[in-house]
């Protein structure tokens, strides 16, 4: 028989032994008045209009294993859910899920109560306050992180827009997009000139797990990151190198000789096999150049010069080829654009060469040219990191700062190279 008080109580009270209550649950009569009291019938007994079914005996809420996916669990325990939405979410599983969650202390099932009968189906379910509070705290933390991430993206976008417009565009995606975390981390590393030994090293550095984002190079490329930016970060896939003049490239037993062919020729470096390269006997000079149009003009005008077009920032496999060819000539000439990217390229190639190799960095700003866009304060600061060097890379950086603007044109490159070639 149902046990119920004969006088009007304050707050809920249990209806022990009430028929129709599923095993493992207990019905609690819910107060009908806003002040937590019950209205009375003519006999002075409490009028019960609602009951709530909860675990019996009471237990700390614990997620049932294998019942719900992570997203279903968050949905089920985040807030009160009406039964219509429960059935639309779980379909034929709704009753099974509801009872399992109630027995494990995760939710309470709210029912109408009429004429001594617990009405079916439930009106709503109410998650345990510990669970809904945790979900709310996690949600607030995510929102705070999104706001912080959005602010970081806006700052980075402003700082990098002149040098890396593709990166800046990638930083403009909505804060709710899960890709933004990785885009911001990559942009921060780019701004700090931080280089990683591959995509897995990048992911390990930022997530502590090399497999947390296996598609990182594709993610950044699809978002708009320039190819050179991926090279600087060290996360690019198999790079291309442009070869021209009296150069020979070998892979296994096959040799390609580019002597006499108009170059440069794009060669995609393989992932699992090594390409080796050398200059033809008697070749005196290797030119490593950034500007594609200037590279084509040099190949046409100076066919005896071995040339490598580095496709922007050279990754290690291309540096290895530069070093191999450098060992077979007398002199290496490095000709980048006169801007931050060019200074960084010159420094990377210059510093990778063995100490015994004679090298020269060309400043195309010494030839006639048209001034390009002015350097922002951010770009000046980053160029300034190279300006203290006591070598030709430092001299190029200081010249860029003195001029104050970008030079990345074919004509100045050809003109500046003419006297040395």
Per-residue model confidence (pLDDT) at position 8: 47
Indicate if the pLDDT at residue 255 is higher than 50: yes
Indicate if the pLDDT at residue 420 is higher than 80: no
Mean pLDDT to the nearest integer, 262-284? 86
Per-residue model confidence (pLDDT) at position 421: 74
User: pLDDT tens digits, residue range 162-185?
Assistant: 888 889 989 998 888 889 999 999
* Long-range residue pairs from 43-48, CB within 8 A, at least 24 positions apart, any chain: 44/6, 44/7, 44/8, 45/4, 45/6, 45/7, 46/4, 46/5, 46/7, 46/8, 46/9, 46/13, 48/4, 48/15, 48/113
User: pLDDT tens digits, residue range 353-390?
Assistant: 999 999 999 999 999 999 999 998 888 988 999 999 99
User: pLDDT tens digits, residue range 96-109?
Assistant: 999 999 999 999 99
Per-residue model confidence (pLDDT) at position 237: 67
> Who contacts 177 (Cβ-Cβ below 8 Å, separation ≥6)?
none
Per-residue model confidence (pLDDT) at position 1: 43
**Residue 419 pLDDT grade (very low, low, confident, very high; cuts 50, 70, 90):** confident
Per-residue model confidence (pLDDT) at position 161: 87
What average pLDDT is seen over the chain? 89
Mean pLDDT to the nearest integer, 260-274? 82
User: pLDDT tens digits, residue range 46-94?
Assistant: 889 999 999 999 999 999 999 999 999 989 998 999 999 999 999 999 9
The two beta strands, 107-114 and 50-55, are antiparallel
Task: Identify the weakest region by mean pLDDT among 1-10, 122-131, 237-246, 409-418.
Answer: 1-10
Mean pLDDT to the nearest integer, 122-127? 94
Question: Would you list the domain boundaries of the chain?
Answer: 13-127, 146-233, 240-418
B/e letters for 121-140, b = 16+ CB within 10 Å, e = fewer, are: ebebbbbbeebbebbeeeee
Mean pLDDT to the nearest integer, 117-143? 86
- 240-418 classified as CATH 3.40.50.1860: no
Per-residue model confidence (pLDDT) at position 36: 82
Per-residue model confidence (pLDDT) at position 7: 44
Mean pLDDT to the nearest integer, 8-15? 76
């Amino acid at each position: 028989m149902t046990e119920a008080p004969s006088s009007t109580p304050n707050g809920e009270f249990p209806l022990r032994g009430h028929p129709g209550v599923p095993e493992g649950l207990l019905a609690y009569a819910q107060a009908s008045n806003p002040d937590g009291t019950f209205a009375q019938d003519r006999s002075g007994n409490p009028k019960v209009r609602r009951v709530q079914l909860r675990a019996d005996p009471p237990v700390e809420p614990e997620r049932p294993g294998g019942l719900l996916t992570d997203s279903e669990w968050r949905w089920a325990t985040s807030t009160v859910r009406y039964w219509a939405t429960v059935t639309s979410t779980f379909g034929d599983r709704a009753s099974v899920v509801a009872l399992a969650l109630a027995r494990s202390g995760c939710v309470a099932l709210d029912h109408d109560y009429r004429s001594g009968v617990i009405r079916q189906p439930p009106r709503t379910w109410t998650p345990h306050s510990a669970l809904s509070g945790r979900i709310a705290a996690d949600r607030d933390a995510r929102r705070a992180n999104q706001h912080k991430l959005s602010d970081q993206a806006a700052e980075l976008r402003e700082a990098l827009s002149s040098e890396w417009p593709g990166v800046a565009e990638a930083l403009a995606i909505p804060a709710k997009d899960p890709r933004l975390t990785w885009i911001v981390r990559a942009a921060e590393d780019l701004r700090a000139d931080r280089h990683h030994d591959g995509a897995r090293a990048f992911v390990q550095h930022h997530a502590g797990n090399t497999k947390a984002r296996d598609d990182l190079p594709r993610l950044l490329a699809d978002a708009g990151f320039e190819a050179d930016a991926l090279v600087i970060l060290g996360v690019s896939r198999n790079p291309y190198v442009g070869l021209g003049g009296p150069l020979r490239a070998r892979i296994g037993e096959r040799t390609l000789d580019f002597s006499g062919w108009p170059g440069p020729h794009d060669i995609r470096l393989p992932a699992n096999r090594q390409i080796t390269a050398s200059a033809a006997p008697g070749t005196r000079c290797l030119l490593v150049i950034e500007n594609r149009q200037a590279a084509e003009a040099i190949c046409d005008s100076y066919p005896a010069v071995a040339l490598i077009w580095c496709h922007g920032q050279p990754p290690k496999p291309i540096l290895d080829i530069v070093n191999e060819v450098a060992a077979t000539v007398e002199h290496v000439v490095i000709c980048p654009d006169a801007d931050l990217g060019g200074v960084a390229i010159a420094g990377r190639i210059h510093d990778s060469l063995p100490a015994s190799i004679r090298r020269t960095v060309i400043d195309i700003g010494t030839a006639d040219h048209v001034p390009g866009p002015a350097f922002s304060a951010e770009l000046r600061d980053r160029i300034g990191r190279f300006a203290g060097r006591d070598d030709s890379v430092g001299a190029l950086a200081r010249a860029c700062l003195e001029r104050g603007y970008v030079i990345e044109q074919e004509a100045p490159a050809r003109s500046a190279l003419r006297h040395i070639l």
